[in-house]
Amino acid sequence: MELYDIIAQGLGILAMAFNIFSFQRKTSNGVILCQFFGGLLFSASFFMLGATVGGILNAVAAFRAIIYMNEEKFRARHIAWLVFFEVVFAASYVLTFTVFGKEFNLTNALVELLPVVGMTASTISFRLQSAKAIRRFGLVSSPSWLIYNIVNFAVGAIVCEVLSIVSIIIGMLRYDIRKKV
């Protein structure tokens, strides 16, 4: 493994730390702030690994986090933001096969769609302003990304999604289920 690859994987591991920690935050802004830093670092890691759609989507995720953390200033609850992000996610998918030259076949079409599904789930959850809802939608997002990360051999991202699923479940037990008992 060359130094370039080690740096790419290292950025992914650092991003993983931010994303895992995010699900242990009590407030929605706490979750989103940690995911902002994770998104920036994952974006760089994915681009370095040649996983273009992952890089694009994580860069968009960092921008999305800024919008939702400053909800009143940007009127983030307005449906136009949800539509905007979904259009950008769809465009990223299309660009992967057109501009970036990924071969279009059934396997690639499905694999490249997975992070779009994951980003859609997390974008919807940010609009709900509830850490509980963010954790629930995380159970849609993380498995989608996990498969994509395995295919692209993004070590930090693979570990991140496995740990995210565990962290989400722990967060649900600590904050969502325990309150009911």
Give per-residue pLDDT as tens, 12-28: 999 999 988 887 888 88
User: In the predicted model, what is the mean pLDDT of the chain?
Assistant: 91
DSSP states of 65-81 as a string? HHHHHTHHHHTTTSHHH
How far apart CA 133 and CA 140 sit, in angstroms, is 11
pLDDT by residue (tens digit) across 25-44? 888 888 889 989 999 999 99
CB atoms near residue 16 (< 10 Å): 25
Q: Is the pLDDT of residue 159 over 70?
A: yes
- Nearest 5 degrees, angle CA 174-CA 162-CA 66? 75
- Return the closest-CA partner of residue 120 out of 154, 70, 174, 83: 83
Number of domains forming the structure of the chain: 1
- Which residue reads 């591991």 in tokens? 13
**Segment 55-78, tens digit of pLDDT:** 999 999 999 889 988 989 999 889
| pLDDT, position 180 | 62
- The CA-atom distances, in angstroms, between 129 and each of 52, 58, 76, 84, 172 are 30, 20, 11, 19, 16
Whole-Å CA distances, 142 to 12, 152, 155, 178, 181: 15, 15, 14, 23, 27
Q: Round to whole Å and give the CA distance between 124 and 61.
A: 12
- CA distance linking residue 7 with residue 134, whole number of Å: 30
Residue 14 sits in which domain range? 3-177
Distance CA 89, CA 87 (A): 5
Q: Is residue 55 within 8 Å of 28, Cβ to Cβ?
A: no
Give the pLDDT confidence of 166-181 residue by residue, as tens digits: 989 999 999 988 766 5
Whether the predicted pLDDT of 139 surpasses 60: yes
